[in-house]
Structure 1
Amino acid sequence: MTDPTALGTDEAHSRLHELTVVDVRTPGEYAAGHLPGALNIPLDRIRRALPDIRHAADRGGVLVVCASGARSDSACRLLAENGIAAATLSGGTGAWAADGHVLHRPRGAVRTGWGTERQVRFTAGAIVLLGLLLGAQVHPALRLLSAAIAAGLVLSAVTGTCGMAAVLARLPRNRPTAADLDETLAALRGR
């Protein structure tokens, strides 16, 4: 399978009016700032949204966005496997903001919580530290916990996926309510 088409931030900005933008980050990340008009469908909910994304793709282009481009690349590959053409934003919302483009926030949204990458770094660091400290004090076998996290981080880097991020995305704070997702899918159908 070929790599998904990637749009630079300036090209995406100039074509924003003709694209349906799907943001595959967690609701907390989306609330912290997203591309104008973007609809939030977390990566783990994309399969449920396939018919609605197909409908949007039939009416125009689809741009998939995340924080850095890794999750949107995965989403584009899944869409392609299901016959839906979509592009990804090079560098994600981080590059979008760094290039001077505006990120929107839902009305009344207050930036609370951490993005997925920050949650992964905190969790991995805490588990490694706990394994090292408890391994020295309680039982040496607990150091295997640190080794397992280190192996997971290496595997994550090699494969471009992150099992810990997938687990953290399932936490209640990182998931949309059913009503939010249904509302988003209805908006997607209306485009």
Structure 2
Amino acid sequence: MRPHVVAQVAVSVDGVTSGFAVDQARFYALATLWQEDVTLIGADTILAEEHSLRATQQRAVRAAGPLLAVVDSRARVREWESLRGLGHWSDVLALYADQTPARPLDSVTPELVTGYDRVDLTEALDLLGSQYDAKVVRVDSTGRLLTALLELDLIDELALLMHPVVVGNGQRWDPAEHYRLSLANAEEFEGGVLWLRYCISGLVE
């Protein structure tokens, strides 16, 4: 059975996801409420942080933590041991496709191969449910991965941590389609930050 998939995104009032001070402590404190079994993230997000990953002090694996699954169709991620050593996750899992370039022969990173040229996200989620007993998957992405999951109708719940600022220019959370959202919960925090939880019930016809 496919797990429940939730995406949590920090945004400004005008829908920008960068260029403002995100309340990181609040964001990740709220993220723990999902109690996800798997954190799903795209290779681009990991690659943007590779330099800092190398300099981060390594910690013990968090045995009770979620599994980190990285969509990496082109096998670009190299800092697998650094990711494992952050102390957030129980282990890391590389999501590859049949045509993903060959990995180093000495690689010990667990792999899940699905799809031909690119990772088949639908099948990957099904396999995370059946092979890894995942009940809840949290998507940690504001870019192409989130957009692709939305287009495939694979996001069940969307949580926006809206900051009271208008940025104007910057990377926007801007899906290509219009989705029907049902407000499940709204909460205001100190400083005017809003947490808006929506259930997604499909595309607007």
Q: Could you say which TM-score interval applies, normalised by the shorter chain? A: under 0.3
Using the size of structure 1 for normalisation, the TM-score is 0.26
Larger Rg: 1
Using the size of structure 2 for normalisation, the TM-score is 0.25
Higher percent of residues as helix: 1
